[in-house]
Amino acid sequence: MKKVLLSITALLFATGVFAQQEMGFGLKAGVNFPKYSLSEGDLSTGSTTNFHITAFLDAPIATDRFYVQPGVSLQGKGAKLSQSSAGTVKQNTMWIEVPVNFVAKFPAADAGKFFIGAGPYVAFGISGKNKYESDWASAEEDFDFGKDGSLKGTDFGLNFIGGFEFNSGLMIHGGYGLGLSNLAPDGNNGDIKQRLWTVGLGFRI
């Protein structure tokens, strides 16, 4: 939790440095399609379905075309892992994510603005659950990040976003999250990195 608070403090400071005009803020939510990128050859990975909720600031940088958008997000991630001899594991994880996106907006007649952007994020794992299924049994268990051979609890990566913002403030958005941190437990032979597609709606005030 201390890491989360420090990240949010740094985020707010950065916003104050960059913002030159009146700031807005917004909320967005939607569906996640997470999976893992694995370097292990004997496991296959597929996407699962989860959700996200994000609060963000929208601060112009010098002009009304370029913005910095720091935020705080609850992100559901995970993956479906399968091995022919062992069955399937559906892993659901929840993260507190702190993104800082740099966004360009392009007017579209009188309807609103298209936007595209990218930026870094840092995320902290808060809960995890594994659901095992095989031909002979099924089970569920919760796990703590960084303990008993489970995933590491801190992730760093890049976000890529795009969408359309109507003049009313309604937003349609999509994005891709590229995890750069290896979340595999110490001693694991392969890498585990997060990948995430998102789509959703939001509202800017």
| Domain boundary assignment for the chain | 2-204
Whether residue 19 is predicted with pLDDT greater than 50 in this model: the reply is no
pLDDT at 16: 52
Kindly give the residue spans of alpha helices, DSSP state H, lying in the chain: 2-18
Instruction: For residues 112-133, give the mean pLDDT.
Output: 95
pLDDT digits (tens, 9 = 90+) for 44-78: 888 999 999 999 999 998 778 999 999 999 999 99
- Give the CATH number of domain 2-204: 2.40.160.20
What pTM was estimated for this model as a whole? 0.85
d(CA 103, CA 6): 24
Residue 201, helix vs strand vs coil? strand
